[in-house]
Structure formats: C-alpha cells, structure tokens
Amino acid sequence: MSSGLAVNTANFEQEVVKSTIPVLVDFWAEWCQPCRMVGPLLDQLAEEYSGRVKICKVNVDEENDLAGSHNVVSIPTMVVYQDGQVVRQQVGAVPKAQIAAMFSDLVRAD
C-alpha cells in the first residue's frame, strides 16, 4: 500500500489538525481495489509536493471510530485539511491530476 504517514485516533490531531501545511487524508482498506489504485498516485504526489503537502493514511478497518467521525461510508475517501478544517473531500478512485487539484491551490509557492 501507499507509503503515506499512517494516522490513527492517537496522532490525528497532531499530524492533521495541527499541521502547518495542507494535509490530504486517505481513508482506505487493504482489501479495497480502488484504494490500491489510488495508493501509487498518492505516493507520487507525496514526493512531488514533499514539504508542502502532507499525505496521511487512515486504515478504516483499524480506525473505525476515526472513519465514522468523518462520516466515511465509501472508500477510498480523500479529505483535505487546511488550518485544521476540512476544505475538500473526494470519494472514489480518481486520476492523479484530480487528486492534485484538491490541494494545489492551497500549496505555497517555492
């Protein structure tokens, strides 16, 4: 699966809510084929936007309460946070460009 930072109930606030850069949280599961399709795209984006966007992963099988608190009913669900707030959400596997478009306007220019 993707090499994004694994987040859970214990570290979600620190890694996502308190992040100083935009965060894309991918709610996924090992058995989910569309999740497996999105994983490599997220890896590529994590590399391309290194230091400007944080890519995090929440395994819904292991973090059911966290997924429930975000009203995740289908996976993959990708949620973008900025300044601790949800600013965008996408359900389902989509092309890399569409994922990048979720946060590209939030990223500081280098």
Cα separations in angstroms, 56 against 24, 28, 67:
6, 11, 13
- For 25-37, what is the mean pLDDT? 96
Domain assignment present for residue 110? The answer is no
For residue 25, is it within any domain? yes
Confidence of residue 4 (pLDDT cuts 50, 70, 90): confident
Q: Point out the catalytic residue in the list 7, 23, 25, 35.
A: 35
Query: 89 lies in which domain range?
Result: 5-105
Q: Is the pLDDT of residue 109 over 80?
A: no
Q: In this model, does residue 89 exceed pLDDT 80?
A: yes
Confidence of residue 1 (pLDDT cuts 50, 70, 90): very low
Query: Any idea what the CATH number is for the domain that residue 63 is in?
Result: 3.40.30.10
As for how many domains the chain has, the answer is 1
Separation CA 96–CA 63 (nearest Å) = 25
What pLDDT digit, counting tens, does each position of 78-87 carry? 999 999 999 9
Q: Which of 25, 32, 60, 78 is catalytic?
A: 32
pTM for this one?
0.93
Separation of first and last alpha carbons in the chain: 29
* 56 given a catalytic annotation: no
CA Rg, the chain, in Å?
Answer: 13
Question: Residue 27 gets which letter from DSSP?
Answer: E
Residue 77 lies in a domain: yes
pLDDT the model gives residue 3: 62
